[in-house]
Every structure is written in structure tokens, then in C-alpha cells.
């Protein structure tokens, strides 16, 4: 991996979008020394090996204990029984995470008498489970080297943790934030001292005084193109850049972009902080942590989700140390779970009694009764990708869903494992490629903890699978966990969880950013309670004729791919599938009935290459069409100096739409162009089709075409190559700076940047909330989180309290409420309305089932429906036990809108409540 060509994109593609190739190359030339392979150390080892450093040396002198089975996901029962050293037990399992990383072991004693000169061959030293005096000695040694060896010390003590970084006196960061700089269009640049730049369409620039921007594609004041200027912000829409009096007058167009400037950080050697000094002193004096049940009752314990969260944070600091990418910690970071886990001092002493099993470390932190609740939990997890793998690991270590306690984890994911998954979905290995994620993840989880009860499915959770994931299924659950990569699926699972009053834990990552959202019945809002603004679609006119940025040309190329290789072959195949033979197609009657499809078939048959030189000829024709004729036609219709009524140039605002001007930029791409066909054209079509068929020695097999469906991760299929080439040609045609293949792949494939560090951190934080759900904690103890490991920042916030809708002074409801009415075979609509009034104190004025109005008084004939039975009105399908109805009530003041109610679930019989089916 000496240069960018050697980076294995099939493995690292998602991570390359987070770190960039320069950082990846630096990592691939760096070695890390990591001491301590306990809960925190093995998390860090996992993350940095997945990231792709050159070499990692794992150091540890301790032997495996039963305790480790509940904290270290790479230690097995046989390792404990054989008293194997921890570093030897985890070595091969860490090494197989990434074949590009050299993983070695060291088990010599590291103490005050050790000659530290061996550390000079490492670029970063990470210490866990190391007493403070030794940390200080090693830090001073690392700090004094030229160049300094980057030092990180981190620990987890029960429910508290800390991370310390020392990267030397001068540490340069090339990209402090990792944010992709935005490109914005220019409305005007004044000639003056200073010159003032105004953004187009009142777009906010988001700049700060002192930052620098570079300019390109400016017409008129061309002296600015390719130059960089420091800005002074004047307003959200304008900024000054210095003297422009001697420049040519600004004419039109132009783009500016923020230029990222390196930033210098300075570090001091390890300093004492008052927090946790007592624990450090005790550890120095007694060479151990306090016993369970003492004043520092849980310091000796280990909360594996906290180790996962801190491990993700500390691992990102290792990558920063090696690459200079993103802002490092300065210098301490503390994350304690006191906000996360209920204070333990109030728990009785017997709650801490060790049992000599794999859950002692957890029991020391949260107590016996809460530990037992986790064992009994019934969890449904949707998605087994990166976050899903981390969640399963955390649940396995905590013993969530044990078979002996009648607990269970049900997981489902329809996807198969790809090579690109291996970089962050750490339960999977190369031999698992093309195997189902869910069953593979389940088997790997059972290796971590054989006591689990896991049921793995290969299904989507969607309306089509509601018979399987019915209300009866949800009724057994304690918790739903989403580990999904799209909003639509999240919203559906959330709606099912709310409908069945089940807690839901949601989380997600994008690059170095992560978020968690906790939904608890009757306490919090749900995922669907808020909606992000929809993504802006690129106007069709922009794609077709007026691209301005590289994203426009990439989307245009993606559309051309879909049209040429997916859409047209599909139409072609559908045409032939509707006819049994070529001769049948030639019948005039059939041709006339499917003329539109016939023209597509004629065109494709006549153009279908049979030799390599035919391919070259077709490519040349396409090139002339897309990159010459279209441009000449556009320039003829819209000369570059043509202006609109407001004085702005047409080339930036007009719409070219099938050879006529369209001024509405909201015009959508037509679904399909209808063809008006004359009788002469029909005869020509028949003749051309017959000639094409006869000249092709047609057999049924030769009449078929293979539709290609866009696949971004298979570099051998040429899909990204086609889009990258077509996009670059179109970009050149419009004087737009082209994107490289990696950037094109990200935009065309809508790839979400991802890295193992963020995934580990977000899953650890979610798993801490899982403990609270098991403990039935109060509203104020649940925490949502947003973090950005690049800056770095972590913000814990209270969840949004559930809102209540008032119907009457004494009647209100929230999203979690559901009214219930039980009927019978002869139960009428009138009976239903009386039952609602009797049960809930308010009389319905309207009843709706889905889109069907069962009762609306103003509708003709609806009053007669009051005597009809609910069965007759609803006509339920066989086996249906209930329906959810929408009921409204008369307003208190005439003229106001009708008042809503929560869903009213009507059971067709009282017996149907058990084993209910949606």
C-alpha cells in the first residue's frame, strides 16, 4: 500500500470516503504498540486493525479468567480452562480481521525498570490497564523523542472512563473537521477595496472571518480564478476579499469554495487530574482495584458497552495520531455512566455478590437483579450490518437473551455479506462472503457466548411480512433495536413499535458522526414524531441542459446508464416475451397494437453490435450525439450572452426542454414520451423489423438482452467506469472540474461514508440505554446522543417528552395510547359508537377504516348504516382478529374542526385478543 493504487477499494471503500487516500497511506506505514488486551484494549485493537494500520503489537502479561468471558469478545471458555495468556488467546482472532495488518504479541513485563528504547520503532503507543506512574514514565519518554511518539492512555473503571492524548509539542492537523467544503455560486463581485462577493439566490455561505476561499469559473473578473483569498464576513450572504479595483469588471458565473488550512495543536505531558486520583493511588499502593462492595464499589467491574464506546473514541485518536486527520483531544476526555446507569450506592450489598461466572464484571456495575432482567430480555433487532454486529457483540457479553432464562434475541436481515462489509462488520470474515448476514452474525455471537438464544431470519420487516412480524410477535418483545441504513425502513419499524407499545433503540453513523435516539412507551416521542426536510432533487432541466457542478454531470451519467443498460433492455425483453416467435411479431395486427414497443425493438435490433468494430462505431455515434450535437444545438438556441428580463444570463437560469423554452424549474422528467405514428411509419417499422430479424439469424435465445442493474462495488463490471467517463466528458463540455473515480463512485452510488470507530462508539452508547430500558428507568435518565469524533465532540441530551393532544378537559391522548372496543358477531355500528362513549366518555361523530368512510353523518345514506353489523361494514378477511379505526368527535365550539382520537382497535370478538393478527 505504498501509493493510492495499492489501496484495496473493495475492502476500504467506505472508509476511504472518511479518511481520504493520504491518511490511508500514512496508516499503512505506521506501527502501534497497544498494552492491555482486556475489554478496552481488545476494542481498540479491533478498530485500528480494521482501519488498516501497517502493524500492531499486542502486549499483555495477564492470563484469561472467567471474568474475561463477559468483557472480552475474543476470549473463549477453552482459553480460560487452559489458563492461556490473554494476548495469546486474542492474537489470531485480531489478526484475521485484516490480512493487510501485521499483528504480533509481546508478553514481557512492562514496569519502572523496563528499557523503553524498543518503543522507538512505533509511531503511537496506547496504554490500557496501566498504573498512573508507569503511564507518566512512558509518556515522558514518548514526548521527548524526535519526532515524538504519539501517546494515548485510556481506562475504564466500572461505570467511569478516561482518555488522555499527548501528540507532542507541535502536531499539525491537515483537516480539523473532516467536513466536505461546499461550493456556492456567485451572484456578483464588486470592484472596490475591498471587493464584495455576493452569493446567488441569497444562499448563506456559512463562512467565518479569517477563513480562506478559492475561486473558479468566473467570467469577467477572471484574475480571481484559481486564487485564494482570506474573507471578512459582512452578512450571511456576502463577504469581502480585499482589493479588486484593478481587476476586470465581473460579468457572470463563478464558484467559490472554502479552503481548508492546516491547524497546529500543542500537547503537554501527562498531568494529574483530581478526578479518579484516589483510584490511581489505591492501585499504586495495593497493585489492584478496590474490592466489589467497598466504597468504590464498581471500579473493579467492567461495563462492556462503556468499553465499546470509549474504545471507539480512543481508536479514532490513534488514527488521528498516525495521520494528522481531524482534531485530536486536548487532552482529556471523560465519559462516565453515572448519567447512563442509575447510581449504585443505593443498591443492597448482596447485589454485588460475585458468582464466579462470565457476568461478574457486569454484575459489579449494575447489580444482580438488573443483570437477571437482561438475561430474560426478548429483543428484536432489525439489521445485521455494521451497527448490528457491534450490538450483537455487546448483547452477547452482557448475556442479553439467555436460553436458560427464557430470553431470546431475534435478528433479521435479507442481505448477503460483501467484501466491503469486512472493514467494519467485524463478525464477518472473507470465508463468509456471499453468505447471509443474519445467520452468520448469529453463529459468531454464539462463539462469544454459547448461552445465548438467537433466532436468525432472512426477511425484510415491511408490510409484506406483517403476517410473520405480527402483533402477536411484537407482544412477546421487551425491546426493538434498529440497525438500518435507510429512513423508510426506520419509519416502518418505528410505527410497528409504537402501535405495539414497545421501546425502540435507533442509531446511525455517517463518517465520524453518530447519533442515538431512544424511544420509550408513554415517556418519549418516537422516531416518526419528527421529519428531516426532504433532499433537494436536481431539476430535470439542470440535468438535461444546464449542469453547473460535478454532481449534475454524475447524475446525468447515472441516468444514461440506467436508460441504456436497464430500462431499454427491459422494454425490449417484455416485447418479445409477449410474442412466441419472430414470425408472430411480423403480423401487422400485432405490430399495430404494440407500435411503441416495436420502435424500441427495431432501434435496438438494428443497433445491436455483433462485432468489436460495431461497438466502436456505436460509441462514436453516441459521443457525437451527447457531446457535440447537443452542445451545438443548445448554443444555437441560447447564445452565451442571452439574458432574461431580470438581466441575468439565460445559461444559468433558463430551461431547455425538447427544443422549447420552459421557465418553470419544477418541471419533472416525463415518465415516457408518447409517439404519434403515421401509417407510412407503421409500414417502415414492419419492413425494418423484418429485415432486422431476418439478418440476425434469430433464435428465441438471441432475441433476449441482458438488463444490467447498477452495482457500485464490483469493479470488474465496468458500471462505475462508464459513469466516471461519461460524467468527465460532460463536465469538460460545460467547463466543470471533473471528479476522480473514487468521488464519482461515492456520488453515483449514494455511498454513506463509514468507519469502524464510529460504529463501535454508537453501538456502545445504544447498549448502555438498553440497560436502562431493562431497568425501567425514569424519563430523565434516558439520553439521546450526538457525537462527531473528528472535532471531537459528544453531546448527551434528554429525550423529547411525549406530547399529549387534548380532546376535552379530562380527556387527552398521546402517540402511545390506543383505545379498545370488543364486539361480537351481531355488534352494530351503533353499538360500537355507544361503546366508545360509555368506555371513554365522548361520542364519535365519524368512523373511518383506512380510506373507507364507515360513518360520516353528512353523507347520504350513512345514517342507515348504524343498524348494520361491523362485520358487514368492514368485511374482514378470513382470520383477521381486529381492525384499527380512526374516530373523530364533535368540536366544543361550532365551526371548529372535528377532534381526533387515538386509534380505536375494534376486536371482532373478545376471544380474538389473544394471538391477535394485524
Catalytic residues: 541
The Cα 894–Cα 264 span in angstroms is: 68
Grid look-up 473503571 returns: 157
Concatenate the DSSP letters of all residues of 331-381 into one string: SEEE--TTTTS--STTS-GGGG---SSTTHHHHHHH-HHHHHHHHH-EEEE
Q: 41: burial class by Cβ within 10 Å (0-12, 13-18, 19+)? A: buried
Sorted by sequence, the CB contacts under 8 Å of residue 660 that are 6+ apart come out as none
- Sort strands 212-216 and 255-259 into parallel, antiparallel or unpaired: antiparallel
Three-state SS for 402?
Answer: strand
The secondary structure of residue 328, as a DSSP letter, is P
The Cα 870–Cα 42 span in angstroms is: 61
Three-state SS for 804?
Answer: coil
Q: Which residues pair with 661 in a beta bridge?
A: 656
Up-side HSE of residue 280: CA atoms within 13 Å toward CB? 17
- For 627, phi then psi, to 5°, come to -115, 5
Closest by CA position to 585, among listed 675, 696, 681, 690: 690
User: CB–CB of 819/840 below 8 Å?
Assistant: yes
User: CB–CB of 358/374 below 8 Å?
Assistant: no
The Cα 696–Cα 679 span in angstroms is: 26
Grid look-up 380510506 returns: 851
User: CB–CB of 48/97 below 8 Å?
Assistant: no
Closest by CA position to 305, among listed 402, 396, 409, 370: 396
The Cα 327–Cα 174 span in angstroms is: 9
Closest by CA position to 477, among listed 458, 505, 450: 505
User: CB–CB of 86/39 below 8 Å?
Assistant: no
The Cα 54–Cα 352 span in angstroms is: 43
The Cα 366–Cα 355 span in angstroms is: 14
Closest by CA position to 384, among listed 461, 438, 431, 444: 438
The Cα 753–Cα 749 span in angstroms is: 11
3-state secondary structure 131-172: CHHHHHHHHHHHHHCCCCCEEEEEEEEECEEEEEEECCCCEE
- Sort strands 783-788 and 793-798 into parallel, antiparallel or unpaired: antiparallel
Three-state SS for 394?
Answer: helix
The Cα 106–Cα 114 span in angstroms is: 13
Q: Name the CA dihedral angle for 68, 72, 75, 78, rounded to a multiple of 10 degrees.
A: 30
User: CB–CB of 331/267 below 8 Å?
Assistant: yes
- For 600, phi then psi, to 5°, come to -60, -45
Grid look-up 431470546 returns: 408
Q: In angstroms, what CA-CA distances link 165 with 136, 251, 407?
A: 12, 51, 41
User: CB–CB of 397/375 below 8 Å?
Assistant: no
The secondary structure of residue 500, as a DSSP letter, is T
Grid look-up 466543470 returns: 736
Amino acid at each position: 500500500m505504498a501509493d493510492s493504487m495499492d489501496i484495496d477499494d473493495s475492502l476500504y471503500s467506505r472508509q476511504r470516503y472518511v479518511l481520504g487516500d493520504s491518511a490511508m497511506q500514512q496508516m499503512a506505514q505506521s506501527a502501534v504498540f497497544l498494552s492491555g488486551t482486556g475489554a478496552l484494549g481488545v476494542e481498540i485493537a479491533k478498530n485500528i486493525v480494521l482501519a488498516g494500520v501497517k502493524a500492531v503489537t499486542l502486549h499483555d502479561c495477564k492470563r484469561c479468567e472467567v471474568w474475561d468471558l463477559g468483557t472480552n469478545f475474543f476470549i473463549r471458555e477453552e482459553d480460560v480452562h487452559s489458563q492461556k495468556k490473554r494476548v495469546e488467546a486474542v492474537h489470531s482472532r485480531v489478526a484475521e480481521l485484516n490480512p493487510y495488518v501485521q499483528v504480533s504479541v509481546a508478553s514481557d513485563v512492562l514496569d519502572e525498570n523496563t528499557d523503553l528504547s524498543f518503543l522507538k520503532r512505533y509511531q503511537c503507543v496506547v496504554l490500557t490497564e496501566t498504573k498512573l506512574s508507569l503511564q507518566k514514565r512512558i509518556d515522558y519518554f514518548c514526548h521527548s523523542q524526535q519526532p515524538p511518539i504519539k501517546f494515548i492512555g485510556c481506562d475504564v473503571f466500572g461505570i467511569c472512563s478516561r482518555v488522555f492524548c499527548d501528540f507532542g509539542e507541535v502536531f499539525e492537523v491537515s483537516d480539523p473537521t473532516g467536513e466536505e467544503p461546499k461550493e456556492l455560486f456567485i451572484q456578483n463581485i464588486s470592484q472596490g477595496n475591498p471587493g464584495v462577493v455576493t452569493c446567488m439566490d441569497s444562499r448563506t455561505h456559512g463562512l467565518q472571518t479569517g477563513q480562506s476561499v478559492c475561486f473558479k469559473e468566473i467570467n469577467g473578473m477572471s484574475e480571481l480564478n484559481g486564487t485564494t483569498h482570506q474573507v471578512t464576513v459582512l452578512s450571511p450572504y456576502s463577504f469581502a476579499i480585499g482589493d479588486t479595483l484593478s481587476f476586470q469588471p465581473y460579468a457572470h458565473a463563478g464558484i467559490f469554495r472554502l479552503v481548508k488550512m492546516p491547524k497546529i495543536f500543542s500537547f503537554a505531558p501527562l498531568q494529574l487530574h483530581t478526578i479518579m486520583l484516589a483510584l490511581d493511588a489505591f492501585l499504586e499502593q495495593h497493585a489492584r482495584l478496590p474490592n466489589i462492595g467497598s466504597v468504590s464499589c464498581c471500579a473493579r467491574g467492567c461495563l462492556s458497552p462503556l468499553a465499546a464506546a470509549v474504545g471507539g473514541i480512543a481508536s479514532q485518536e490513534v488514527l488521528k495520531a498516525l495521520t494528522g486527520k481531524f482534531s485530536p483531544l486536548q487532552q482529556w476526555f471523560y465519559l462516565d455512566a453515572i448519567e447512563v446507569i442509575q447510581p449504585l450506592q443505593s443498591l443492597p450489598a448482596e447485589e454485588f455478590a460475585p458468582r464466579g461466572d462470565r457476568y461478574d464484571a457486569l454484575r459489579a456495575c449494575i447489580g444482580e437483579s438488573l443483570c437477571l432482567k437482561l438475561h430474560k430480555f426478548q429483543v428484536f433487532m432489525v439489521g445485521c450490518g455494521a451497527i448490528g454486529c457491534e450490538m450483537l457483540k455487546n448483547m452477547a457479553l452482557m448475556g442479553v437473551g439467555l436460553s436458560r432464562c427464557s430470553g431470546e434475541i431475534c435478528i433479521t436481515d435479507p442481505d448477503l455479506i460483501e467484501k466491503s462489509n469486512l472493514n467494519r462488520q467485524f463478525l464477518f470474515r472473507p470465508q463468509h462472503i456471499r453468505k447471509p448476514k443474519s445467520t452468520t452474525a448469529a453463529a459468531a455471537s454464539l462463539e462469544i457466548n454459547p448461552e445465548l438464544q438467537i433466532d436468525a431470519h432472512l426477511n425484510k420487516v415491511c408490510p409484506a411480512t406483517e403476517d410473520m412480524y405480527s402483533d402477536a410477535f411484537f407482544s412477546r418483545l421487551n425491546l426493538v433495536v434498529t440497525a438500518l441504513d435507510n429512513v423508510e425502513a426506520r419509519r416502518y419499524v418505528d410505527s410497528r413499535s409504537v402501535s405495539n407499545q414497545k421501546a425502540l433503540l435507533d442509531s446511525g453513523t455517517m463518517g465520524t458522526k453518530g447519533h442515538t435516539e431512544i424511544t420509550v412507551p408513554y415517556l418519549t416521542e418516537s422516531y416518526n414524531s419528527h421529519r428531516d426536510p426532504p433532499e433537494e432533487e436536481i431539476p430535470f432541466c439542470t440535468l438535461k441542459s444546464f449542469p453547473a457542478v460535478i454532481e449534475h454531470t454524475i447524475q446525468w451519467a447515472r441516468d444514461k446508464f440506467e436508460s441504456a443498460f436497464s430500462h431499454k433492455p427491459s422494454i425490449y425483453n417484455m416485447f418479445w416475451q409477449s410474442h412466441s416467435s419472430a414470425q408472430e411479431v411480423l403480423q401487422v395486427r400485432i405490430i399495430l397494437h404494440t407500435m411503441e414497443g416495436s420502435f424500441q425493438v427495431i432501434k435496438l435490433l438494428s443497433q445491436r453490435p455483433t462485432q468489436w468494430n460495431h461497438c466502436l462505431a456505436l460509441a462514436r455515434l453516441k459521443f457525437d450525439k451527447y457531446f457535440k450535437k447537443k452542445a451545438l444545438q443548445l448554443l444555437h438556441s441560447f447564445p452565451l450572452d442571452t439574458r432574461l428580463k431580470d438581466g441575468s444570463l439565460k445559461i444559468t437560469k433558463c430551461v431547455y426542454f425538447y427544443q422549447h423554452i420552459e421557465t418553470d424549474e419544477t418541471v419533472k422528467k416525463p415518465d415516457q414520451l408518447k409517439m404519434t405514428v403515421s401509417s407510412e411509419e407503421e409500414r417502415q417499422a414492419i419492413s425494418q423489423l423484418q429485415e432486422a430479424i431476418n439478418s440476425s439469424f434469430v433464435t428465441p435465445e438471441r432475441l433476449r438482452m441482458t438488463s444490467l442493474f447498477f452495482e457500485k462495488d464490483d469493479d470488474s463490471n465496468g458500471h462505475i467506469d462508464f459513469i466516471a467517463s461519461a460524467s468527465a466528458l460532460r463536465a469538460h463540455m460545460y467547463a466543470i472540474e471533473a471528479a476522480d473515480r473514487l468521488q464519482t463512485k461515492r456520488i453515483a452510488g449514494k455511498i454513506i461514508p463509514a468507519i469502524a470507530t464510529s460504529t463501535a462508539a454508537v453501538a456502545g452508547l445504544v447498549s448502555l440505554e438498553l440497560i436502562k430500558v431493562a431497568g425501567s428507568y425514569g424519563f430523565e435518565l434516558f439520553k439521546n446522543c450526538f457525537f462527531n469524533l473528528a472535532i471531537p465532540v459528544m453531546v448527551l441530551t434528554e429525550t423529547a417528552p411525549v406530547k399529549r393532544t387534548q380532546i376535552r378537559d379530562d380527556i387527552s391522548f398521546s402517540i402511545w395510547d390506543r383505545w379498545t372496543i370488543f364486539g361480537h358477531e351481531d355488534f352494530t355500528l351503533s353499538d360500537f359508537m355507544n361503546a366508545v362513549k360509555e368506555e371513554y366518555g365522548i361520542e364519535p361523530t365519524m368512523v373511518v377504516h383506512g380510506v373507507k368512510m364507515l360513518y360520516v353523518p353528512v353523507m347520504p345514506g350513512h345514517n342507515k348504516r348504524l343498524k348494520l353489523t361491523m362485520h358487514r361494514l368492514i368485511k374482514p378477511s378470513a382470520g383477521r382478529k381486529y381492525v384499527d379505526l380512526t374516530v373523530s368527535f364533535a368540536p366544543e365550539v361550532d365551526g371548529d374542526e372535528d377532534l381526533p382520537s387515538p386509534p380505536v382497535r375494534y376486536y371482532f370478538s373478545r376471544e380474538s385478543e389473544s394471538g391477535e393478527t394485524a
